[in-house]
Amino acid sequence: MLRNLMMTLAYDGTEFHGWQFQPGMRTVQEALEQALRRTLRHRVNLLGCSRTDSGVHAAGYVAGILTPSEMREIAIMRSAGSRLPKDISLLNVREVPLTFHATRSSVSKLYRYRIHNAVTRPCESMNQSKVYHVWSHLDIDRMRAGAAPWIGLHDFSSFASAGNDRQHNVRTIHRIEIYRVGEEVRIDIEGDGFLYKQVRNMVGTLCEFGRGQWLPEISADILAAEDRTKAGPTAPARGLCLQWVKYDLVNLPEPSPAMLERARATLPPVGERRSTVDNQPMSTAPGADITETDVLEPPA
């Protein structure tokens, strides 16, 4: 019987070239797939919830995998987790309905951006790879005023960098919270999905408001222009972290009869030798036979 597993993990993105598999590059997807292949003893196809960029971190990243293995979830978590590099931690593994999709089933995501806002560098706290250093004082009231027009359903083309391959740029931002924690300014942005580098471009624009370079009153005009050149610079990747992804598992659609039939017909792996599994070519996600759509939109 084919099972659908939802995996939650955290990782330090400093030494990774993002989530998505890239030949010759160290990625989170590649590292997790290697660990799972050795645990499950079959080739795997991981589907991630988001295509995080090089250097971006995650505290609650979600990935999905289909497997005919009969191993218990806790055994998979411990076995695969022990095989991961030190900058990835597998936090949870749970079986979910066959219709669960790590990208399309998400209801909302929360990204947090951390800014070290002090004259001195963030070396004393050893946070230099986790925060963006802005030495000039940031006025968070001006930043909040600038962020207010972005909440709601809008076309965010002004914050979509080159390389954005979405069919449309309309997204919903549920909330933007800007606050101080010691010497840090933190920006929490929750939305139903995000465009390529959207959060980093929004943060770069908010910093222009906070530094007093731009008036917050032009924020609505920047959004309405639907022109990337009207917004601010792109903030560095190191300050960004995917905090969590929310799903409504209770209300997922029921699997179709054809999907159930294919799942029941899938036999558990015979248990190949690890050397044989290691020699198999790297998989590319998405690519699971159980999915009912052949073409999947790339994760945000």
Answer left, alpha or beta for residue 143, where phi above 0 means left and psi between -120 and 50 means alpha: alpha
Residue with tokens 């070290």: 116
CA distances from 265 to 42, 237, 259, 286 (A): 17, 44, 10, 21
Contact 51, 102 (CB under 8 A): no
30: which DSSP letter? H
Q: How far apart are CA 295 and CA 227, in angstroms?
A: 29
Q: Count Cβ neighbours within 10 Å for each residue of 268-290 and write b for 16 or more, e otherwise.
A: bbeebeeeebeeeeebebbebeb
Measured CA to CA in angstroms, residue 23 lies from 120, 125, 160, 163 at distances of: 39, 35, 26, 19
The whole-angstrom separation of Cα 2 and Cα 231 is 47
Concerning whether 53 is annotated as a catalytic residue, the answer is yes
* Helix pair 140-147, 198-210: axis angle to 10 deg: 130
Specify the DSSP class assigned to residue 130: T
Q: Are 50 and 19 in contact (CB under 8 A)?
A: yes
Q: Which of 12, 53, 188, 289 is catalytic?
A: 53
Measured between alpha carbons, how far is 60 from 84 in angstroms, rounded to an integer? 16
> How far apart are the C-alpha atoms of 234 and 119, rounded to whole Å?
21
Return the ∠ at Cα 84 (arms to 83 and 89), rounded to 5°: 125
Q: What distance in Å separates the CA atoms of residue 36 and residue 45, rounded to the nearest whole number? A: 10
Positions marked catalytic: 53
